[in-house]
């Protein structure tokens, strides 16, 4: 068992509530736990993350059937962004028009997807479909081509997806074009043409410039990868409908704000635009009692 203490505020219960939207997550709300699949070298392992503290004095324990090394512990810390103190961000937004939202959702961190490849596949699958169906499609993809350990589902690896036929993806009720995006992108990753796991070394604008050259990856997908795959702190996807609707609600507007309005409002939210995005999304998502399984 590994015990970890971090600076508050950090609301792990809200983390679990938000994660529970994804049917692939193995969460026990009452025990305040989530199970994280990952690899120790080539061996699939499961780490149970449990909150043992409070929002203001957060603490956690990690348990696994494997002997955890610093590498796995660091990966967990990065996923849950435990090394990114939220108080400075909270103080920053207390002086802005987002103060009410940040007070209501105090301690909500930017939690990353468990793996960068998982994040990219989710982004591609989620393109141009509603959230509920997107999660259903992702679940079908993982259940069909991934595998299960200790009650937790592992995504297939890119080299395994690269070997699939397009028809195997379309049988899951995805379009032929989306099947091509999924398999062709996985081939590029497995063959080293797209060095996905080296992207963290590059700045946002370089990643955007490189990835939009890949068929099936547009700005929306890259922004989501930067946010939820790499945890970049200063992204504001202006074209996102959810953010537009959240600002419409916050500002009491009759119609969605214009790009110019959003650009002007967001100037005061830097260098934490990603958190502004997260809290705006959170402000229009289902309430906690609707998210508990």
Regarding whether 184 and 122 lie in a shared domain, the answer is yes
Instruction: Evaluate whether residue 19 is within a structural domain.
Output: yes
Q: Please give the residue that has the higher pLDDT: either 59 or 130.
A: 59
* Residues contacting residue 10 through CB under 8 Å, at least 6 positions apart: 55, 58, 82, 86, 107, 109
Last residue within a domain, chosen from 228, 256, 281: 228
Instruction: Evaluate whether residue 125 is within a structural domain.
Output: yes
Instruction: Evaluate whether residue 281 is within a structural domain.
Output: no
For residues 70-92, give the mean pLDDT: 97
Regarding whether 143 and 47 lie in a shared domain, the answer is no
Instruction: Evaluate whether residue 137 is within a structural domain.
Output: yes
Domain at 63, CATH number: 3.30.310.10
Looking at the predicted structure, is the pLDDT value of residue 228 above 90? yes
Domain at 141, CATH number: 1.10.340.30
Regarding whether 82 and 41 lie in a shared domain, the answer is yes
Last residue within a domain, chosen from 228, 250, 280: 228
Q: Using CA atoms, how far apart are residues 140 and 156, in angstroms rounded to an integer?
A: 12
What pTM, to 2 d.p., does this model score? 0.92
Tokens of 225: 């990868």
Count of domains for the chain: 2
Judge whether 240 counts as a catalytic residue. yes
Instruction: Evaluate whether residue 246 is within a structural domain.
Output: no
pLDDT on residue 47: 98
Catalytic residue among 7, 13, 160, 240: 240
Q: Using CA atoms, how far apart are residues 159 and 182, in angstroms rounded to an integer?
A: 12
Regarding whether 215 and 120 lie in a shared domain, the answer is yes
Regarding whether 120 and 219 lie in a shared domain, the answer is yes
Looking at the predicted structure, is the pLDDT value of residue 220 above 50? yes
Looking at the predicted structure, is the pLDDT value of residue 291 above 60? no
- Long-range CB pairs of 237-240 (<8 Å, 24+ gap) are 237/277, 238/262, 238/263, 238/266, 240/277
Regarding whether 196 and 127 lie in a shared domain, the answer is yes
pLDDT digits (tens, 9 = 90+) for 234-278: 999 888 889 999 999 999 999 999 999 999 999 999 999 999 999
For residues 68-72, give the mean pLDDT: 96
Regarding whether 120 and 66 lie in a shared domain, the answer is no
Looking at the predicted structure, is the pLDDT value of residue 292 above 50? no
Q: Which structural domain range is residue 74 located in?
A: 2-86
Regarding whether 69 and 130 lie in a shared domain, the answer is no
Instruction: Evaluate whether residue 223 is within a structural domain.
Output: yes
pLDDT on residue 287: 57
pLDDT on residue 83: 95
Alpha helices (H) in the chain, listed in sequence order: 12-19, 70-79, 87-93, 99-104, 116-126, 131-145, 158-161, 166-170, 176-190, 204-211, 219-228, 241-251, 259-266, 273-284, 288-291
Q: Using CA atoms, how far apart are residues 113 and 134, in angstroms rounded to an integer?
A: 15
Regarding whether 77 and 122 lie in a shared domain, the answer is no
pLDDT digits (tens, 9 = 90+) for 88-111: 999 999 999 999 999 999 999 999
Regarding whether 122 and 214 lie in a shared domain, the answer is yes
Regarding whether 134 and 80 lie in a shared domain, the answer is no
Instruction: Evaluate whether residue 204 is within a structural domain.
Output: yes
pLDDT digits (tens, 9 = 90+) for 178-216: 999 999 999 999 999 999 999 999 999 999 999 999 999
pLDDT on residue 240: 87
Regarding whether 195 and 130 lie in a shared domain, the answer is yes
Instruction: Evaluate whether residue 109 is within a structural domain.
Output: no
The vertex-142 CA angle with 137 and 145, nearest 5°, equals: 120
For residues 203-232, give the mean pLDDT: 94
Last residue within a domain, chosen from 206, 228, 250: 228
């Amino acid at each position: 068992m590994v015990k970890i203490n971090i600076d508050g505020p950090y609301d792990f219960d809200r983390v679990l509530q938000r994660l529970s939207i994804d049917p692939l997550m193995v969460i026990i709300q009452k025990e305040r736990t989530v199970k994280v699949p990952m690899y120790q070298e080539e061996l699939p392992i499961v780490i149970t993350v449990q909150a043992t503290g409070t929002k203001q004095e957060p603490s956690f324990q990690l348990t696994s059937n494997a002997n955890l090394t610093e590498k796995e512990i660091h990966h967990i810390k990065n996923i849950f962004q435990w090394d990114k103190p939220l108080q400075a961000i909270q103080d920053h937004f207390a002086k802005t028009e987002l103060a009410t939202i940040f007070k209501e959702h105090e301690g909500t961190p930017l939690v990353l997807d468990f793996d960068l490849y998982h994040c990219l596949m989710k982004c591609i699958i989620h393109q141009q479909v509603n959230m509920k169906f997107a999660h259903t499609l992702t679940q079908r993809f993982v259940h069909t081509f991934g595998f299960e350990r200790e009650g937790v589902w592992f995504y297939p690896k890119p080299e395994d997806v690269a070997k699939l036929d397009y028809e195997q993806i379309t049988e899951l009720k995805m379009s032929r074009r989306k099947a091509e995006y999924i398999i062709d992108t996985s081939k590029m990753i497995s063959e080293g043409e797209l060095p996905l796991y080296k992207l963290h070394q590059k700045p946002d604008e370089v990643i955007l410039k490189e990835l939009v050259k890949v068929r099936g990856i547009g700005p929306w997908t890259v922004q989501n990868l930067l946010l939820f795959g790499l945890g970049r702190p200063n992204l504001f996807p202006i074209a996102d409908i959810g953010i537009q609707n959240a600002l419409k609600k916050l500002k009491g507007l009759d119609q969605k704000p214009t790009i110019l309005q959003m650009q002007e409002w967001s100037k005061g939210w830097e260098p934490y635009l990603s958190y502004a995005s997260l809290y705006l999304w959170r402000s229009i998502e289902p309430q906690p009692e609707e998210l508990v399984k």
